Amino acid sequence: MTQAQQAVSLPGSIFTGLTEVSDIAADGNVLGVVNYTTECTGPRVENGLLTLDLHMAADAGEAFAEVWTTTGPVETGEHHGVVYAHDGEYLLIAGRIAPTGRYTDDTRSAYVAALDLMDTLGYKNCFRMWNFINHINADNCEGLEIYRDFCKGRAEAFELFHFGDQEVPSATGIGSLGGGIAFYFLASRSAALTSVENSKQMAAYHYPRQYGPRPPKFARATYLASTHTDRRSGQIYVAGTASIRGHETLHAGDIAAQVKLSLDNIEHLISDENLADYEIAQGNSLLDLDNIKVYVRHRSDIPLVRRMCEERFSPNARVQYLNVDVCRSDLLVEIEGVVA
């Protein structure tokens, strides 16, 4: 078999309780563990596992772990403050930027370290990024909103690595409860990736200047083709999706309408109608979305958001609801997931 024909299994992840992680690790190969928990600590290798703790839960009862599983033996290491784990086909990278008055430079350096690592280790196909940003809507020491400050550093790093707009992966840029900025990225050695946009939304990397000095650089989704001949479909990693049409926030102050539009945006994004532009057709609907995270700005909105989501997601979908800020102060909800 040539490299291109080699059958490679797609990455997988599961949500679990924090204490069950060691059972999963004992059972098989784990690329890494992301704890959505009550404090943020720097990424590390713990008991041989890449581990990143994010401050995304108000108390222990809300905490959960996201475990990235794989098929091959895993090696771990550290490079300029970023920690990594890889199995020959997939690379997981985790990093943290300490709290600071101005994030542009530290974001650029941390991203440069991560992108450099992808190049060095030979995992050049980055397909998903998550960024957790404390005080995301607050101003930095220069009066620039922290999310926009972060976007500036990220755009500069992508530029240094000559990432074209169509090469940026899908991403999440969301609030957190503490710890500066934490992030994790997934990259592949040989997967064929397609960056997917939503025909009803402006590409985020084209957002006009009113949203900050540099636009958010991410794709609405990344399609990861399956190399298995017996598998009909690839995976679609859906970026954080909100109540935005064109480039504008719609339904400011109306949580129900924002949830509906966020769901409608994802439904359209993964539909054959939208994917036809990329010659992908797999008949996906919201019922195929799994490993879902729903980020809700106001805790009191969670019951309504949950009811609305349960009406549209599969009853078997794994869904986590998190109470954090969202990257535009008029956005009340953001939703992400994976069509696996």
Query: What 3-state class would DSSP assign to 90?
Result: strand
Do 65 and 17 contact (CB within 8 A), yes or no? Answer: yes
Alpha-carbon torsion, ordered 111, 320, 317, 218, to 10 deg:
-30
Q: Tell me: is residue 220 an annotated ligand-binding position.
A: yes
* b/e burial code for range 220-249 (CB count within 10 A of at least 16 → b): bbbbbebbeeeeebbbbbbbbbbbbeeeeb
Measure the CA–CA gap between 168 and 277, rounded to whole angstroms: 18
Binding to ligand 3EB by residue 172, rule CB under 6 A?
yes
Q: Catalytic one among 156, 197, 334, 336?
A: 334
Measure the CA–CA gap between 175 and 185, rounded to whole angstroms: 17
Report DSSP state, residue 270: T
Binding to ligand 3EB by residue 240, rule CB under 6 A?
yes
Q: Which of 11, 169, 173, 175: binder of ligand 3EB (CB under 6 A)? A: 173
Do 173 and 133 contact (CB within 8 A), yes or no? Answer: yes
Q: Which residue has the tokens 């970023």?
A: 82
Least Cβ distance, residue 220 to ligand 3EB (angstroms): 8
Q: Tell me: is residue 207 an annotated ligand-binding position.
A: yes
Report DSSP state, residue 327: S
Q: How many residues sit close enough to ligand 3EB to count as binding (CB under 6 A)?
A: 12
- Pick between residue 70 and residue 132 the one whose CB is nearest to ligand 3EB: 132
Segment lying near ligand 3EB (by CB under 6 A), choices 69-77, 100-108, 168-176, 304-312 = 168-176
Measure the CA–CA gap between 50 and 43, rounded to whole angstroms: 7
Segment lying near ligand 3EB (by CB under 6 A), choices 34-42, 50-58, 106-114, 167-175 = 167-175
Segment lying near ligand 3EB (by CB under 6 A), choices 4-12, 88-96, 171-179, 292-300 = 171-179
Measure the CA–CA gap between 212 and 327, rounded to whole angstroms: 12
Segment lying near ligand 3EB (by CB under 6 A), choices 32-40, 134-142, 181-189, 240-248 = 240-248
Query: What 3-state class would DSSP assign to 292?
Result: strand
Segment lying near ligand 3EB (by CB under 6 A), choices 68-76, 102-110, 235-243, 267-275 = 235-243
Binding to ligand 3EB by residue 131, rule CB under 6 A?
yes
To the query of whether residue 334 is one of the catalytic residues in this protein, the response is yes
Least Cβ distance, residue 325 to ligand 3EB (angstroms): 11
**Neighbour-count burial of 27, counting CB atoms closer than 10 A to its CB (0-12 exposed, 13-18 middle, 19+ buried):** exposed
Q: Which residue has the tokens 């109306």?
A: 254
Q: Which of 11, 175, 212, 216: binder of ligand 3EB (CB under 6 A)? A: 216
Measure the CA–CA gap between 312 and 88, rounded to whole angstroms: 37
- Pick between residue 29 and residue 163 the one whose CB is nearest to ligand 3EB: 163
Please, which of residues 47-76 interact with ligand 3EB by CB under 6 A? none
| Of residues 189, 191, 220, 181, the one with CA closest to residue 94 | 181
Binding mask 175-204 for ligand 3EB (x = CB under 6 A): -----------------------------x
Binding to ligand 3EB by residue 327, rule CB under 6 A?
yes
- Pick between residue 86 and residue 183 the one whose CB is nearest to ligand 3EB: 183
Please, which of residues 296-325 interact with ligand 3EB by CB under 6 A? none
Residues making up the binding site for substrate = 147, 154, 207, 220
Residues making up the binding site = 147, 154, 207, 220
Binding residues vs ligand 3EB (CB under 6 A): 131, 171-173, 204, 216, 218, 239-240, 242, 244, 327
Which residues participate in catalysis according to the annotation?
334
